Amino acid sequence: MTENVEAIFEKAGAVLKGHFLLTSGLHSPVYWEKFRVLQFPRFTEQLCTMIAQRFAKDNVQVVAGPTTGGVILAHEVARQLGVQSIYAEKEGSERLFRRGFSIESNARVLVVDDVLTTGGSVREVLGAVNKISGKVIGVAVLIDRTNQPPDFGAPFFACHHAATITYTPEKCPLCAAGLPLVKPGSSQQPVK
Ligand SMILES: [Zn+2]
């Protein structure tokens, strides 16, 4: 039931084809719009079951994620594991746990995120966990878009691997073909 992650994303209309500007500044013909999946609790539940099962025997005490998608995922994985869930918010160049969140010293923390591209937001959560003296016991994402996931210093799990096709703006064939560039997010409007 939970095995075909790509089918869930396809069913939710979350695998967008076109010409997208990624956060990294690179261009890509494919964009995984996780919020088209996360808007359906049933899909979110199925995907989070894969993560919860993978770390079921690791005595997870806290599940932590970055805003915004990570809030939903941390909450659902924590619900399934019967533990606490917290989220880290952007503050300047880093992320911090606000909202009065506190955890036990050396609490066993599972870090979750939606789509892994550069690993930047996961690293920021690792930094935030470190600041409140948590111990990261694993990192899990829905979609790993890297060719080789970075070493986070803890076991890594992805529900699905889908390596990114990316182009630098100068060498982008979609730019050359004159296709409008779209910055995924709130509006889906062409960048220029
Ligand atoms: Zn382009």
C-alpha of residue 25 to centroid of ligand 1, in Å? 10
Pair of tokens at residue 58: 């690791």
Q: What is the pLDDT along the chain (192 residues), one digit of tens a residue?
A: 445 899 999 999 999 999 999 877 889 999 999 999 999 999 999 999 999 999 999 999 999 999 999 999 999 999 999 999 999 999 999 999 999 999 999 999 999 999 998 899 999 999 999 999 999 999 999 999 998 999 999 999 999 999 888 899 999 999 999 999 999 875 555 665
From the options 3.40.140.10, 3.40.50.2020, 3.40.50.11540, 3.90.1150.10, give the CATH code of 5-176.
Answer: 3.40.50.2020
User: How is residue 56 written in tokens?
Assistant: 């079921």
Model's pTM, two decimal places?
A: 0.90
Q: Residue 185 in 3-state DSSP?
A: coil
CA distance 87 to 72: 9
Ligand 1 centre and the CA of 24: distance in Å? Answer: 13
CA of residue 30 to ligand 1 center, whole Å:
11
**Phi, psi values for residue 97, rounded to 5°:** -85, 120
20 C-alpha to ligand 1 centroid (Å):
7
